[in-house]
Amino acid sequence: MTGVVLVTSRSFGSGEYDPEAVLAEAGYRVVRAGSSHELDELAPLLADADGWIAGTGPVTAAHLDLAPRLRGIARYGVGVDNVDLAAAAARGIPVTNTPGANSAAVAEHTLALLLTALRGIPAADRRVRAGDWSGQPARELSALTVGVVGLGRIGRLVTERLRAFGATVLGADPWVDARDPLFETVERADTETLSTRCDVVTLHAPGGQKVIDERWLSAADRPVLLVNTARADLVDEEAVARAARRGRVAAYAADTLAIETTGDAASPLLADDLADRVVVTAHLGAQTREGVDGMGRMATTDMVALLRGHAPAHPVPA
């Protein structure tokens, strides 16, 4: 073996593609750790790591200080807001990601969460199990206006699927040119407009910004269904919980919560009295066989390239 690759992703290698075998054939031994990225846990592993295939946990300057041998970080996923890119660049450590590998998977999961919340499926399931076969009125997606925040790969796939359902779609992304062909079928708007026009808003923007907060919720002119398969910090969770109790949020459906990275014991959105309005999954939107295999293949190929001193296919600008 010529080196050690640290892996801190739960789903790495869980599909049909075997990235560990590829790394072993290239001469690298894989060492696995938990996905939390706790410094105490990772310190002895980072000390020997030549490469790091990182999940969604934080990759900070403090982590990099513990990794004197590190020659590359392959982010197993698309978003790199969890990686201190400046700290990596300062230490001469290149970073890669896996753009597009999981886009379809996350877009499909977004629609699954949206429809689950829209039709009240978890509550309906609990009622049947309790012997209650009563129904409740719902809405059809084709009758609704849906706002999409963030029009990158995933956001665009979500708009395609929403339009296939017959929904009216508004798109908000200040970085997309107004002349983009997307706006021939999707109405261009800003996030403030979404609060007064939309029945549903789904988030696909990078983290590090607050899109849904008390002010935005107060401006909404109807109970809104919120979907978040992007980053927990896009949402003020306390404000959403309060709004849900007041009936200002019809439902919140998410694949991420702040407690995933903060380590807090509880989330305001997991309170028992909100069970009928909140649907949450464990950050598994990307974890289809196809998505996992795509991310594994791209991350592994780039990691081998980095460790051999070659240019990776998917570099992230510093």
What pLDDT score was predicted for residue 111? 99
Contact present, 151 and 173 (Cβ < 8 Å):
yes
Specify whether 283 is catalytic: yes
pLDDT exceeds 80 at position 36:
no
Average pLDDT, the chain: 96
More confident residue, 152 or 79: 152
Residue (of 5, 107, 104, 8) closest to 56 by Cα position: 8
When computed from its CA atoms, the radius of gyration of the chain, rounded to whole angstroms, is 21
Band of residue 37 on the pLDDT scale cut at 50, 70, 90: confident
296, 276: one domain: no
What pLDDT score was predicted for residue 16? 95
What pLDDT score was predicted for residue 101? 96
17, 133: one domain: no
201, 96: one domain: no
pLDDT exceeds 90 at position 18:
yes
What pLDDT score was predicted for residue 1? 58
Token couple for 202: 């789904």
In a domain, 267, yes or no: yes
In a domain, 314, yes or no: no
More confident residue, 269 or 265: 269
User: What distance separates the 2 farthest-apart alpha carbons in the chain?
Assistant: 64
In a domain, 313, yes or no: no
What pLDDT score was predicted for residue 132? 97
Contact present, 254 and 228 (Cβ < 8 Å):
yes
96, 72: one domain: yes
In a domain, 312, yes or no: no
In a domain, 316, yes or no: no
193, 93: one domain: no
67, 158: one domain: no
135, 16: one domain: no
More confident residue, 92 or 57: 92
135, 195: one domain: yes
Task: Report CA-CA distances (Å) from 50 to 29, 43, 91, 170, 203.
Answer: 10, 14, 14, 45, 35
Number of domains in the chain: 2
CB-based burial label for 207 (10 Å; 0-12, 13-18, 19+): middle
Single out the catalytic residue among 109, 197, 231, 314. Answer: 231
Specify whether 109 is catalytic: no
CATH number of the domain bearing residue 85 = 3.40.50.720
In the predicted model, what is the mean pLDDT of residues 236-260?
97
Cα separation, 148 vs 218, in Å, equals 19
Cα separation, 132 vs 147, in Å, equals 34
88, 167: one domain: no
Domain that holds residue 41: 3-101+288-307
250, 137: one domain: yes
194, 92: one domain: no
97, 118: one domain: no
Band of residue 141 on the pLDDT scale cut at 50, 70, 90: very high
Taking only the tens place, the pLDDT of each residue in 176-235 is: 999 999 999 999 999 999 999 999 999 999 888 999 999 999 999 999 999 999 999 999
Task: Report CA-CA distances (Å) from 238 to 10, 100, 153, 278.
Answer: 28, 32, 29, 13
In a domain, 195, yes or no: yes
Single out the catalytic residue among 109, 156, 204, 283. Answer: 283
Token couple for 210: 């607050």
In a domain, 122, yes or no: yes
Task: Report CA-CA distances (Å) from 77 to 6, 105, 116, 242, 314.
Answer: 16, 12, 25, 32, 11
What pLDDT score was predicted for residue 14? 93
pTM above 0.85, yes or no: yes
In a domain, 213, yes or no: yes
